[in-house]
Structure 1
């Protein structure tokens, strides 16, 4: 999680810093559906490499948006879900989806 000193002064800049790349938003879109395993997320997020997915999940976990749960099984199983902070972003993602749908409808007809 970012320290108080590392956070930008502007609240919009803080939000952009935490979720402001395309991959993080698409990962969150998938996790809003519920707990997912790495391969499920990888298949659902078209075009993302395993390396980039891993980097983004680690960053999101560090920022407190994603919870990673590893199970002591053979073979090992790891699941990802949104934390309480991550869940609080649901209205933002929903608004972006609604806006995108309206834009597509208006501009593609």
Structure 2
């Protein structure tokens, strides 16, 4: 009977150690899940920042192009029309309206392209 008790104690000890091992594994899994979630969040944030940077770059390029066109328009209006100030102002207003309309279309196109 002493031999039976020893075997039973050994089995209980083995069971206890397996439960402890299971608890340790569960804790490690929870930590791993947490790290995976953090990594997923970092990836989402990185993708968002990358997308924003890409859009900012496109927007910056668009603004540079628009500024160049506005400079060309201003140059053309001030150089080509040397009449009275009223005529020049009227032409500049028309030119600005066209440029502004074109600019809004370009911005809208840029935003829909993504």
What TM-score, normalized by structure 2, do the two folds share? 0.24
Structure whose residues are more often helix by fraction: 2
| Rg comparison, structure with higher value | 2
Structure whose residues are more often strand by fraction: 1
What TM-score, normalized by structure 1, do the two folds share? 0.25
